């Protein structure tokens, strides 16, 4: 169907006829007239081709859809010719970056709008790229990603895991043979602590970074002894390090069972694993120092605790020794008091026995006098012999009774004296006895009151000994 208002005669002017090439050249001239100066265009790189034999690089610059999921809103072909590439490389080098075009990278490109007349392709000829805008955009994208993951609660999960006091079994994710690996391993080796390293190698830049890092974490899950994992990469450009700004890597860090230490880049570099890991350090060397210092601090705390325990034990032993001396003095005073009391009782008993003996002798003398008075009558009755026998028997009975009573009193007195003097601690010590106390100052009365390797305090007549139990040999008890 022909557009309204147009007829065949509208196209009859020969000046309106173009060949394909002339038409393309005419359009190219119009573009040059419309855009006589270079323009700046912002967009995201897609479909980067490798440099051809002439050193030219071709790619597409797109404007992504708002949700980042659908078709791009617009596309323009771009060409970075070999003659312009050195200028762009120098621009990035002055900004401390290594120039490398990668898909997904956001750029601000300065160039000329042209139409390639032979191919009829509208394109942007790249003359320069703004590295500061590129880096600022990467930082902005990282901040938005951090805010999103923090809102989802992913960034805090790994930091809530308990860092071991003495982590010696270390998982290491890095590039095989890299300077990062060498610096980290050397830092641990120089400490002389018995670290064990379980390495899982992965690409540290490029398209395979995310998949490789996730696979490395999965391989370490099969190692049962790992306590801490270090994710390590040496320095590089922000573009190189931007490969770690992937939420899938942060998601895996939130799911692993051990604390993760992020050691990516140099002092001023920040990547997503720094936010998602338990601990973030600036370089692989700092990661090694962190682990070494943790072990050293623990050993220092143990030494300090040992000194404190020794001092506390010494004070406890001194107090126990003072209590023992005080108790011994009290026992000695109590023994002397008991001894004096028993001596008084013995003296009273002795006086009672003497009085009894005198009374018995007086009574016997009275009976003897009566016998003498009646002696004559006895002679007369012929009973003298019987009286003599009775008198002899009475005398023997009396003497025997007094002798036994005196012996019993003497034995009782000796027993009392032995009980008093035998229980004196100093007397027991002089006889070769000793007292043994445990570490808590309590007397040991049985081998069940102590254990092997326990310290004991042995008190003798002229001092005390500290000993360590090496063997316990049961003996017969009183009930066996």
Domain 157-282: which topology? Answer: Rossmann fold (3.40.50)
Q: Is the distance from CB of 172 to CB of 196 less than 8 angstroms?
A: no
Least confident of 5-9, 147-151, 227-231, 417-421: 5-9
Using pLDDT thresholds of 50, 70 and 90, give the confidence band for residue 394: confident
pLDDT attached to residue 105: 75
Give Cα 205 distance to the centre of its chain: 33
Question: For residue 301, which phi and psi values (nearest 5 degrees)?
Answer: -65, -40
pLDDT attached to residue 477: 59
Q: Is the distance from CB of 208 to CB of 216 less than 8 angstroms?
A: no
Least confident of 64-68, 189-193, 318-322: 64-68
Q: What is the mean pLDDT of residues 364-387?
A: 66
- Whether pLDDT at 210 is above 70: yes
Q: For residue range 154-177, what is the model confidence (pLDDT) as tens digits?
A: 889 999 999 998 899 999 999 999
pLDDT attached to residue 422: 62
Q: What is the mean pLDDT of residues 93-103?
A: 75
pLDDT attached to residue 393: 81
Distance CA 107, CA 63 (A): 11
pLDDT attached to residue 112: 92
* Contacts with 133 (C-beta within 8 Å, 6 or more apart), sequence order: 42, 107, 108
Q: Is the distance from CB of 461 to CB of 467 less than 8 angstroms?
A: no
Distance CA 346, CA 414 (A): 10
Q: What is the mean pLDDT of residues 318-341?
A: 78
Q: For residue range 403-451, what is the model confidence (pLDDT) as tens digits?
A: 787 778 777 777 776 666 666 667 777 778 888 888 788 888 888 888 8
Distance CA 271, CA 243 (A): 9
Q: What is the mean pLDDT of residues 336-362?
A: 80
Strands in 279-280's sheet, in edge-to-edge order, are 196-201, 169-174, 228-233, 260-264, 279-280
The dotted CATH code for 14-129 is 2.40.50.140
Distance CA 358, CA 328 (A): 44
Distance CA 109, CA 76 (A): 12
Domain boundaries, the chain: 14-129, 157-282, 302-424, 434-472
Structure token pair of residue 99: 């120039």
pLDDT attached to residue 219: 95
Average pLDDT of the chain to the nearest whole number: 81
Q: For residue range 126-157, what is the model confidence (pLDDT) as tens digits?
A: 998 887 776 656 666 777 788 888 898 988 99
pLDDT attached to residue 208: 87
């Amino acid at each position: 169907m022909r557009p309204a208002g147009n007829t065949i005669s509208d196209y009859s002017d020969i000046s309106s006829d173009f060949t394909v090439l002339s038409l393309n050249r005419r359009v190219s001239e119009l573009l040059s007239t419309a855009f006589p100066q270079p323009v700046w265009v912002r967009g995201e790189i897609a479909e980067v081709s490798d440099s051809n034999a002439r050193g030219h690089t071709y790619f597409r610059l797109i404007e992504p859809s708002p949700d980042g999921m659908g078709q791009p809103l617009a596309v323009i072909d771009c060409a970075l010719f070999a003659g312009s590439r050195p200028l762009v490389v120098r621009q990035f080098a002055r900004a401390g970056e290594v120039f490398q075009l990668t898909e997904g990278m956001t750029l601000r490109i300065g160039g000329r709008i042209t139409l390639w007349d032979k191919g009829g392709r509208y394109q942007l000829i790249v003359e320069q790229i703004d590295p500061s805008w590129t880096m600022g955009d990467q930082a902005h994208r990282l901040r938005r990603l951090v805010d999103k993951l923090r809102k989802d609660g992913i960034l805090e999960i790994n930091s809530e895991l308990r860092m071991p006091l003495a982590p010696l079994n270390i998982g290491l994710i890095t590039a095989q043979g890299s300077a990062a690996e060498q610096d980290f391993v050397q830092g641990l080796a120089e400490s002389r602590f018995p670290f064990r390293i379980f390495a899982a190698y992965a690409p540290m830049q490029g398209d395979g970074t995310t998949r490789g890092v996730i696979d490395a974490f999965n391989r370490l899950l099969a190692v049962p002894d790992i306590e801490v994992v270090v994710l390590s990469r040496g320095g590089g450009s922000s573009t190189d390090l931007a490969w770690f700004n992937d939420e899938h890597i942060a998601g895996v860090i939130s799911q692993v069972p051990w604390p993760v230490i992020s050691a990516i880049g140099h002092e001023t570099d920040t990547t997503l694993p720094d936010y998602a890991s338990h601990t973030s350090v600036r370089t692989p060397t700092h990661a090694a120092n962190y682990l070494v210092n943790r072990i050293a601090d623990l050993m220092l705390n143990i030494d300090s605790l040992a000194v404190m325990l020794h001092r506390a034990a010494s004070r406890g032993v001194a107090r126990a020794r003072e209590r023992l001396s005080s108790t011994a003095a009290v026992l000695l005073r109590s023994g002397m008091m008991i001894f004096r009391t028993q001596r008084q009782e013995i003296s009273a008993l002795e006086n009672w026995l003497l009085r009894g003996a005198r009374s018995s002798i007086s009574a016997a003398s009275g009976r003897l006098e009566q016998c003498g008075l009646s002696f004559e009558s006895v002679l007369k009755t012929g009973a003298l012999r019987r009286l003599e026998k009775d008198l002899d028997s009475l005398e023997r009975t009396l003497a025997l009774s007094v002798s036994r009573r005196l012996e019993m009193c003497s034995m009782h007195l000796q027993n009392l004296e032995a009980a008093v003097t035998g229980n004196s601690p100093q007397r027991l010590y002089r006889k070769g006895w000793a007292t043994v106390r445990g570490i808590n100052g309590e007397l040991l009365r049985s081998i069940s009151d102590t254990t092997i390797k326990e310290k004991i305090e042995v008190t003798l007549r002229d001092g005390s000994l500290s000993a360590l139990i090496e063997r316990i040999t049961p003996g017969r008890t009183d009930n066996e």
